[in-house]
Structure 1
């Protein structure tokens, strides 16, 4: 299932990210802010249970998070900035990392690093990758999470291409995709058009 979060604040910040005039510091800050706002939607279905508390005036039952604990898993390297933004909302979440890079010739993902919480099977997993382009890296990361025992996975991306969405929906129909926007297409080099360029390069100031 695909969810596009069309909130005005998200769309405004995404437009700033698209601009070639936006520098590294501002781009990184915007990416973290958009990620945090996306998390509100992605985590809308978290379970709550009544908890007994004492307010300054009286005792009562009030809703607090319950159910499965959370894990934020970043696809390196660009997914890190999203995870950092979301941690401000759920600081108790465990963090994992999956290192993948795209072969420039085949456009296929190549794994180089994987480190997940030991109890990943007992957690709701939010996988972060700013750009869902070909879907190769995200699809491979989702499969790695499933192989490690993860049962509930949501993919969070700032920007997606229709081709990438189609790949994830075909390979992992049980995984919800939460994005800020779906752009027109991929170009011949596998970049999202009109897009915002290479998210990793713009976050870290590399070329």
Structure 2
């Protein structure tokens, strides 16, 4: 998303001296800006509205309502900024982590409808680094019947974005909205220049 407000907020997030409370506030504001773009194609229907003066035609979200899914734990820091813009959306949760022995992504928690048929789903995950977690989350949602998935991320590495394209690139119903596409991944799979570990910077070092 090419916008000076977005670029400014990302720059402050990158600063290693930015404290957690400010980091959380800026993340919240940034997600609201990204959500504005991400919801451009949200489905709507016409409704009749009574104003104090006359009857007119307005707009409402179509059914089924949009579903917002933060990826635990860092995605939680993006939830309020998203629901502020789309307050009538429903919220589900996905907890995913890498198994240190097999290196596979495992789902350790989920709170989602069993059937997502017809649903537009908005996935919240601050960092698109290697892309492994997001690839599995998208597969999980499409397997449940999701009609369209839009991923909202603060920053991404080209390698992770390419892996996402390789895994799901043929799916026209998949969209990714970013605040910044960074340079690369380093040898530890951290995004460069990045902003460090988003979860730790949002919530501290507790795991």
Please give the TM-score of this superposition, normalised by the length of structure 2.
0.91
Q: Is residue 124 of structure 2 the alignment partner of residue 128 of structure 1?
A: yes
Corresponding residue for residue 10 of structure 2: 14
Q: Deviations over 1:94-142 (max 9, x none)?
A: 1111111235677642321122134422321001100000000000111
Gaps of 5+ in 2: none
| In structure 1, distance between residues paired with 2:102 and 2:12 | 31
Corresponding residue for residue 189 of structure 1: 188
Corresponding residue for residue 41 of structure 1: 37
User: Aligned residue pairs: how many?
Assistant: 203
Q: Deviations over 1:79-101 (max 9, x none)?
A: 11112210111122111111112
1:81 to 64, 77, 81: 77
| In structure 1, distance between residues paired with 2:98 and 2:114 | 27
Q: Deviations over 1:35-80 (max 9, x none)?
A: 1110100100123333221212222222333354100011110011
- 8 Å CA contact 2:115, 2:144 repeated in 1: no
- 8 Å CA contact 1:95, 1:117 repeated in 2: no
| In structure 2, distance between residues paired with 1:111 and 1:60 | 47
Q: 1:104 to 1:188 in 2, by over 3 A?
A: farther
Please give the TM-score of this superposition, normalised by the length of structure 1.
0.91
Gaps of 5+ in 1: none
Q: Deviations over 1:167-188 (max 9, x none)?
A: 1111112211110110000001
Corresponding residue for residue 52 of structure 1: 48
The root-mean-square deviation of aligned C-alpha atoms, in Å, is 1.7
Query: How do residues 52-201 of structure 1 correspond to structure 2 at under 5 angstroms?
Result: 52-103=48-99, 108-173=104-169, 174=171, 175-201=174-200
Q: RCO greater where, 1 or 2, for CA within 8 Å and sep 6 or more? A: 1
